[in-house]
């Protein structure tokens, strides 16, 4: 019998066989959570001009020297500057300009005093400033002035290729006038299910039937990974039905195909027959638990994963093997997904590399992993409860409470 393939070798082979998709140009409004394809360099300074950080009065800081002493400084107000104005006149010594947040700093101004540090009540809706303003404190040079280019300077790279466009990134791109942006095309991932026992989530259960959970789970995982999931109807356990399903999948021109079940050695595991007809498949028996029966290869050049049918096995093999491959196809940077944790419970394995579902807690200076209980590959609730997968290395039959293991994170640890 062919020996079981090491998980690391399987992942290395998979990643070597997939390529990042090409870029496309989208409007900035459509770019959220997309992967930036190329470095973006700012053509301008941001801010583009010196501007006020406060609602208040633009002054020369030297004119505030008397403020806070026995005789507060009183300045004549000779300008009124609002956001969107472009003042050109010189602010003379001994004078002040009422100024709004974000408004340009006039020539001659070296500081802005907030309105609350003056005697101006600043009533909303006033059309004109008072004739003079009294200052209640002194100011230093440059106080409350945002300088041109202090955020970014022209020629500075603000976003690197491979960056995911977060709301902050979107805002920065808008600020430099980038109305369209190149992003990696989102991979289309077709998700297939087959089996006479399966019915859709909305259908009533009949004796011997179960609802198809895997395709819904995989669709959510694909969407979280930045892909576009496409669920197709459930195929029956017949060669004709499965052939039609796979041909329909290929007609969509997907970037990846994922199926669940039908890749083992059961009499009704017909997916393997159809895959042999349509593709170049390496059937791997992976040295992992759960998830030993798994197929990887290509169907007419499209990367294909045949995952095991048990719900937990489907999720675990996706997290370990499919997610990294889809991340590469989608142009997303690989990130550290494992931490070290102390196990709170005795854990057992059959000698394969095992992925035990655990809850994680922070206790003083360490992370502790608590078993979610039953570790059956059909117990999907164990994945609902899990923060991560505690990895028991190959060759270990038992791990005692108090030992340290690597844990593959399923969600961010707060």
271-278 and 239-251 are packed helices; what angle lies between their axes, rounded to 10 degrees? 50
Helix (H) or strand (E) holding 284: strand 279-285
Helix (H) or strand (E) holding 36: none
Residue 335: CB partners within 8 Å, gap ≥ 6?
none
Length of the chain: 414
Residue 19: CB partners within 8 Å, gap ≥ 6?
328, 329
Question: Tens-digit pLDDT profile for the chain (414 aa)?
Answer: 567 889 999 999 999 999 999 999 999 999 999 999 999 999 999 999 999 999 999 999 999 875 555 567 899 999 999 999 999 889 999 999 999 999 999 999 999 999 999 999 876 556 788 999 999 999 999 999 999 999 999 999 999 999 999 999 999 999 999 999 999 999 999 999 988 888 888 988 889 998 999 999 999 999 999 999 999 999 988 889 999 999 999 999 999 999 987 665 554 567 778 888 888 887 778 999 998 888 899 999 999 999 998 999 999 999 999 999 999 999 998 777 899 999 999 999 999 999 999 999 999 889 999 999 888 888 899 999 999 999 999 999 999 999 999 999 998 876
Q: Between vectors from CA 412 to CA 405 and to CA 345, what angle results, nearest 5°?
A: 30
In this predicted structure, what is the pLDDT of residue 237?
A: 84
Q: What is the distance between the alpha carbons of residues 95 and 108, in angstroms, rounded to a whole number?
A: 10
Strands (E) in 28-94, as ranges, are: 40-41, 51-52, 56-59, 74-81
Q: For the chain, what are the domain ranges?
A: 7-21+186-329, 23-45+152-184, 51-146, 338-409
- The string of DSSP letters for 352-364 reads SEEEEEEEEEEET
What phi and psi, each to the nearest 5 degrees, are found at residue 347? -120, 145
Q: By 3-state DSSP, what share of the chain in percent is helix, strand and coil, each rounded to 5?
A: 20, 30, 45
Class of domain 338-409: mainly beta
Based on its alpha-carbon atoms, the radius of gyration of the chain, rounded to whole angstroms, reads 31
Structure tokens at 6: 């090491």
Assign domain 7-21+186-329 to its CATH superfamily: MoaB/Mog-like domain (3.40.980.10)
Residue 143: CB partners within 8 Å, gap ≥ 6?
61, 111, 112, 113
360-369: long-range pairs with CB below 8 Å, 24+: 360/387, 360/388, 360/407, 360/413, 362/413, 366/341, 366/342, 367/339, 367/340, 367/341, 367/342, 367/407, 367/413, 368/341, 368/342, 368/343, 368/344, 369/341, 369/342, 369/343, 369/344, 369/405, 369/407
Q: Judge whether 304 and 249 are in contact, CB under 8 Å.
A: no
Structure tokens at 250: 């290929």
Query: Omega before 362 cis (within 30°)?
Result: no
Assign domain 51-146 to its CATH superfamily: Molybdopterin biosynthesis moea protein, domain 3. (2.170.190.11)
What phi and psi, each to the nearest 5 degrees, are found at residue 246? -70, -35
Q: Judge whether 241 and 194 are in contact, CB under 8 Å.
A: yes
Assigned CATH topology for domain 23-45+152-184: Molybdopterin biosynthesis moea protein, domain 2 (3.90.105)
Query: Omega before 47 cis (within 30°)?
Result: yes
In this predicted structure, what is the pLDDT of residue 184?
A: 98
Residue 57: CB partners within 8 Å, gap ≥ 6?
75, 77, 96, 97, 98, 99, 112, 113, 115, 118, 120, 133, 135
The CA–CA distances, whole Å, from 304 to 115, 164, 241, 272, 296 equal 65, 26, 19, 12, 6
Three-state secondary structure call for residue 11? helix
What phi and psi, each to the nearest 5 degrees, are found at residue 145? -115, 125
Parallel, antiparallel or unpaired: strands 398-399 and 210-211: unpaired
pTM, rounded to two decimals: 0.86
């Amino acid at each position: 019998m062919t020996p079981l393939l090491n998980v690391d070798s399987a992942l290395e082979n998979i990643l070597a066989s997939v390529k990042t998709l090409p870029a496309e140009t989208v409007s900035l409004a459509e770019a959220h959570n997309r992967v930036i394809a190329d470095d973006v360099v700012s053509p301008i300074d941001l801010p583009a001009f010196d501007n006020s950080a406060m609602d208040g009065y633009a002054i020369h800081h030297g004119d505030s020297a008397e403020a806070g002493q026995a005789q507060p400084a009183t300045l004549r107000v000779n300008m009124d500057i609002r956001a969107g104005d472009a003042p050109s006149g010189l602010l003379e010594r001994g004078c002040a300009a009422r100024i709004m947040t974000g408004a340009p700093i006039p020539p001659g101004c070296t500081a802005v005093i907030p309105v609350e540090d003056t005697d101006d009540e600043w009533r909303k809706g006033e059309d004109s400033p008072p004739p003079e303003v009294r200052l209640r404190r002194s100011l230093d040079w440059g106080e409350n002035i945002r300088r041109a280019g202090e955020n970014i300077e022209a020629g500075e790279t603000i976003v690197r290729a491979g960056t995911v466009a977060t709301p902050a990134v979107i805002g920065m791109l808008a600020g430099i006038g980038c109305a369209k942006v190149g992003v990696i095309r989102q991979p289309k991932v077709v998700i297939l299910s087959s089996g006479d026992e399966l019915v859709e989530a909305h259908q009533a259960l009949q004796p011997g039937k179960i609802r198809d959970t895997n395709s819904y789970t995989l669709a959510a995982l694909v969407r979280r990974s930045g892909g576009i999931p496409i669920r197709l109807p459930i195929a029956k356990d017949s060669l004709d039905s499965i052939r039609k399903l796979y041909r329909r999948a290929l007609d969509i021109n997907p970037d990846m195909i994922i199926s669940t079940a039908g890749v083992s050695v059961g009499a009704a595991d017909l997916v393997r027959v159809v895959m042999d007809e349509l593709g170049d498949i390496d059937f791997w028996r992976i040295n992992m638990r759960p998830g030993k029966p798994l197929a990887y290869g290509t169907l007419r050049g499209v990367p294909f994963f045949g995952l095991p049918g048990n719900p937990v096995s489907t999720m675990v093999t996706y997290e370990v093997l499919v997610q990294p491959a889809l991340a590469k196809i989608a142009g997303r940077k690989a990130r550290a997904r494992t931490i070290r944790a102390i196990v709170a419970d005795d854990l057992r394995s059959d000698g394969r590399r095992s992925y035990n579902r655990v809850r994680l807690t922070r206790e003083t200076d360490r992370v502790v992993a608590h078993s979610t209980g039953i570790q059956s590959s059909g117990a999907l609730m164990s994945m609902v409860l899990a923060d991560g997968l505690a990895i028991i290395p190959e060759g270990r039959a038992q791990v005692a409470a108090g030992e340290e293991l690597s844990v593959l994170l399923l969600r961010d640890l707060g």
